[in-house]
Structure 1
């Protein structure tokens, strides 16, 4: 299947931030069935991230405040090269910056490692000056997207934050600037407090909630974006089984990214793909494209 400028063997993709910090980990996920893999977000300068605890499991998923730790683009080209040499699955480089200039600098710096696509992280909820700090303003998203699109010769996807009043306005800004697809959603801003000490559990105090709790939010965002945009929507958020992926596709997702579920099951991609195949056969469909956005036709 060909989606948003890249060819996938199947519609499941490793989401950014999970098992994407080394070339070896990316290769492992592709061999475990992921149709494409996304790196951990890479920025313009080395960043150590927030103090621990930075990721905590809750009863409804995970809450994390990693703070975008990364070695910078100059320190990550080799890892992308390792992954590219050992797998034919498309490799998507997730990048971030504080403005259009920094985003473009990172994208150009990674081009030598030949990523198949860039995913612009304008949606991380807990990194001051980055992510959602720039991704909640349509004009800034348009400027950043247009700058990267003009600078590279591969598709550019834009990962959107749900922490806005109207996600479609951000999606339209990305689309009008030349994005090949939008990815929805990143984590939902949240917090957890230890009732015995009274202290916030995370070192950063607040972070981003992922896992099953955010799936209904993600489904609604994908549904709205599918109606508002002409470019494909990649759905992500709370997918833990085939049924979750199918629901996201019915809402309008052309493909899905899987993140938190990998923590419990590194074989999740294979299981989701088999479940999708079974569903398509059961209801007489030939391709996942046949069910993308189908729920919109039911009204």
Structure 2
């Protein structure tokens, strides 16, 4: 393994990339965003050893199975993507009995984050309780920001009191398992929602989820998505994500998993400068199924170029200026 000298100390490449968040000891900061790798069983997840990732965030879990929205569920919008999958998943029972055991058996040491979704407070609480009690996940991500469902999702993530109440209710039933609240950008002031999540006891934040968007098929003159509207992701939303992460990092002390248009190692560094502690990769997989692995390999070179000894040192540097 390559060893670099830093101020007289020897530091391996992996140590330079390592970061530690509540419940998550990451060898590097890179993880696929929820849905991108399914439950470790889709094509992208089978291209390489997932132990090379910092963590894996599984597809959002609901109490009952969901078929998702009508097709088309995904359309391209230039370099960006509009999706309206609609939280399609086989339901909590199947995930606990089949999906998670298979993933955990193959990757016993890999940090796993389970994304929790629901149509009511009670559903969120029950899904979170059972996932936490399973002993198969290291942390939970509370998805209160999906813009592609008619019940739950973003409806829970736009009112500060609801965010606080829901976060608090979930925290009460998950024991020591850390909780990351995934925030919606489809709001006037994301800072008050971050503060509400913190007040409810969140251990960290994931941000941002997709922006609500729409596209027309010019030939049919109808909406391109079967759901009419969907979530916009890709490089076009990165400046918005950077701005929101910066604002939130000024207001709350919680660690942030940054999402939103990350395509290069330089993008990752920019997210860190905004206040992030780790990153989630989504739309970049449309261009390269090995996007996460490519970024992990590229990141040490970007650190060298910018004279950064380690990501942890960068986190501390950024925090000292806040």
> By the TM > 0.5 criterion, same fold?
yes
2:134 corresponds to: 112
1:17 corresponds to: 35
1:95 corresponds to: 116
SS in 2 for 1:243: helix
Shift of 1:244: 1.1
Shift of 1:213: 0.9
Unaligned runs of 5+ in 2: 1-18
For the pair 1:223 / 2:246, whether they are aligned, the reply is yes
Following the alignment from structure 1 to structure 2, what is the Cα–Cα distance between the partners of residues 143 and 119? 16
Shift of 1:11: 0.4
Q: 1:132 aligns with which of 143, 148, 154?
A: 154
2:192 corresponds to: 169
Following the alignment from structure 1 to structure 2, what is the Cα–Cα distance between the partners of residues 7 and 278? 22
Note closer, same or farther for the CA distance 1:113–1:295 as it changes in structure 2 (3 Å cut): closer
Mapping of 1:52-91 within 5 angstroms?
A: 52-77=71-96, 78-87=98-107, 88-91=109-112
Following the alignment from structure 2 to structure 1, what is the Cα–Cα distance between the partners of residues 94 and 88? 12
1:7–1:90 CA contact under 8 A, matched in 2: yes
Give the alignment's Cα RMSD to 1 decimal: 2.0
Note closer, same or farther for the CA distance 1:75–1:253 as it changes in structure 2 (3 Å cut): same
1:262 corresponds to: 285
SS in 2 for 1:140: helix
SS in 2 for 1:291: helix
SS in 2 for 1:41: coil
For the pair 1:7 / 2:25, whether they are aligned, the reply is yes
Shift of 1:285: 2.5
Following the alignment from structure 1 to structure 2, what is the Cα–Cα distance between the partners of residues 263 and 34? 18
Note closer, same or farther for the CA distance 1:297–1:2 as it changes in structure 2 (3 Å cut): closer
Note closer, same or farther for the CA distance 1:269–1:85 as it changes in structure 2 (3 Å cut): same
Q: 2:262 aligns with which of 213, 225, 239?
A: 239
SS in 2 for 1:46: coil
Shift of 1:26: 8.3
Shift of 1:68: 1.0
Following the alignment from structure 1 to structure 2, what is the Cα–Cα distance between the partners of residues 30 and 265? 13
Q: How many residues align?
A: 299
Shift of 1:290: 2.3
Unaligned runs of 5+ in 1: none
Shift of 1:99: 2.9
Following the alignment from structure 1 to structure 2, what is the Cα–Cα distance between the partners of residues 252 and 29? 31
For the pair 1:187 / 2:207, whether they are aligned, the reply is no
Note closer, same or farther for the CA distance 1:100–1:26 as it changes in structure 2 (3 Å cut): farther
Shift of 1:172: 0.7
Note closer, same or farther for the CA distance 1:107–1:29 as it changes in structure 2 (3 Å cut): farther
1:46 corresponds to: 65
User: Which string of whole-angstrom CA distances, capped at 9 and with x for unpartnered residues, describes residues 171-202 of structure 1?
Assistant: 11111111111010000000000122210000
1:43–1:106 CA contact under 8 A, matched in 2: yes
Following the alignment from structure 1 to structure 2, what is the Cα–Cα distance between the partners of residues 27 and 126? 24
Q: 1:35 aligns with which of 48, 54, 61?
A: 54
The two structures have a TM-score, normalised by structure 2, of: 0.87
